[in-house]
Amino acid sequence: MANLKEIRTRISSVQKTKQVTAAMKMVSAAKLKKAQDAIVQIRPFADKLHEILSNLTGSLTDSDDNLYGVERKPEKVLLVAITSNKGLCGGFNSNVIKQVAILAGTTYAEQNQRGSLHILAIGKQGFGILRKTYNVVGEYNDVYDNLNFENVSAIASFVMEEFVKGTYDRVELVYNQFKNAGVQILTSEQFLPVIQPEEEMSTQTEYIFEPNQEEILQELVPKSLKTQFFKALLDSFASEHGARMTAMHKATDNATDLIQDLNLTYNKARQSAITNEILEIVSGANALAD
């Protein structure tokens, strides 16, 4: 009977876990809808603005004006690792952390060895792990409490200023790009310097500047970069909820299968216990009859 009690206790525990995972799935599904709408709305605008930025910086000949497109040898590199503050979302965070490790061990292995590879962590999950191995120079975990353009612009401005000052020669973003609720695309893209369009792949656009080129550059280029940074955060935020919803859905299905297996095991054990009791009763009755 003790075995039966243990099985009943485990069934009750799995049922409670199933209720929790099902509730988390519903919450993530509700949050995903809002996050998905945000990234779908900003993506066409951000892509077009980035295209204009690339063409604009490519048409500049004066390096004093082309502050964010200056190509330098990547002696000092900053990787911006965008993860989440919470877990229980499958491989969402671990994929970003693994990608940072791959970049640190291959593309920027030399910079990592001499200590000139720095990490800027956005999200508690990435910060907690990356700081144990790499030189994490900053963390922005509170940005998810109120994810809007103003808060993200402050982070982007800091990164842009460090690049202009020469603190870093290259800045890369590592994050999950949102495709749909079940698919997140791990992305590593160069944020600074601005990648120039390839001549054979794109046509150079002639621009008429109004009021003048200097004012346009001061307004458009920083705004475009901040928009790209904001889009990366929105991509990651939507991907997080999609990954969590998928993970909780799988966890709920696994809990359902486990409950069925435990019920089957419980019924078999109960049937065996009843059979043994009947045999004992019959054996005792036969003994008394003899």
DSSP state of 115: T
Residue 131 phi, psi dihedral angles, 5° rounding: -65, -20
Q: How far apart are CA 220 and CA 171, in angstroms?
A: 20
Q: Which of 89, 173, 238, 243 is catalytic?
A: 89
- 164 included as an active-site residue: no
Could you give the angle at the alpha carbon of 141 between the alpha carbons of 183 and 50, nearest 5°?
55
Pairing of strands 170-180, 117-122: unpaired
- Phi/psi at 196 (nearest 5 deg)? -80, 140
Give the type of residue at 85: N
Contact by Cβ (8 Å): 235, 5: no
- Structure tokens, 146: 């109120």
The DSSP 8-state label assigned to residue 167 in this structure reads S
Question: Do residues 61 and 218 make contact, with C-beta atoms less than 8 angstroms apart?
Answer: no
Classified as helix, coil or strand, 205 is coil
How far is 277 from 101, CA to CA, in rounded Å?
A: 61
Q: Which residues are catalytic?
A: 89
